[in-house]
A and B are shown apart, each in its own frame.
Chain A
Amino acid sequence: GQQLNQSPQSMFIQEGEDVSMNCTSSSIFNTWLWYKQDPGEGPVLLIALYKAGELTSNGRLTAQFGITRKDSFLNISASIPSDVGIYFCAALNYGGSQGNLIFGKGTKLSVKP
């Protein structure tokens, strides 16, 4: 079946650092989404991307829909402590028939000790 490979699995951030993570697949998708899950809460939608090459920002977050339609990237600039949590990518092929989102396994952001 279709799979999303999300990396890195985990990373430590120091306040002020920029953070990058990505999601890749061998399949083509026409929708990419990025979610954040705070500890003890459900995931919340951050950014949705609908066109290959699209670059979308939400505050300090910027996400890109890869030109091959097989990948997506999320960058966080000038990280702050409340950025910690788990970030999930999700993708969908929406072509008139029903399709469920496919999720990556997540990237866990923690603060450097």
Chain B
Amino acid sequence: DVKVTQSSRYLVKRTGEKVFLECVQDMDHENMFWYRQDPGLGLRLIYFSYDVKMKEKGDIPEGYSVSREKKERFSLILESASTNQTSMYLCASSPGRGGLYGYTFGSGTRLTVV
């Protein structure tokens, strides 16, 4: 069964900590995405990548960075976590260019910053 795996289901971090959220896909997909999900706001795109070492800003990149050193792995980095970054984070991947066949999502990481 093809999968997008997020390394943690739940994380609790302190304000100011550097936080790494890891995502691995086993489908040889070119495209990978990071979203955050908050009640009433839907899915908001943080960053995406169409290829190794390539990254593009989404709609809400402030306070985040990403790394894609290998095709299968896309990491989201919170340089200095703040309480307003408490959220559900979803990683997704898709083949080829565009979302023609939809994205495959991971199960999510619920991050709490205290």
Contact = CB atoms under 8 A, between A and B. Distances in A.
A99 B99 contact: yes
Contact of B102 (A99, A101, A104): A101
Interface string A23-55: 000000001010100001111110010000000
B95 to A, nearest CB: 13
B42 A101 contact: no
Interface in B3-46: 4, 33, 40-43, 45
Contacts of A33: 99, 102
Grouping DSSP codes into helix (H, G, I), strand (E, B) and loop, the B interface class, with mixed when no group exceeds half, is loop
Interface string A72-113: 000000000000000010101010011111011110000000
A44 B48 CA distance: 19
B64 interface: no
B105 A94 contact: no
A31 B99 CA distance: 9
A73 to B, nearest CB: 18
B107 to A, nearest CB: 5
A101 B108 contact: no
A100 B4 CA distance: 18
A91 B52 CA distance: 26
A103 B43 contact: yes
Given A92-B98, A99-B99, A42 B107 contact: yes
Interface string B57-97: 00000000000000000000000000000000010100001
25 contacts: A31-B100, A35-B102, A42-B92, A42-B107, A43-B43, A43-B90, A45-B102, A48-B101, A88-B43, A90-B102, A92-B98, A92-B100, A94-B99, A97-B97, A99-B98, A100-B33, A100-B48, A100-B99, A101-B102, A101-B103, A103-B42, A104-B42, A105-B40, A105-B42, A106-B42
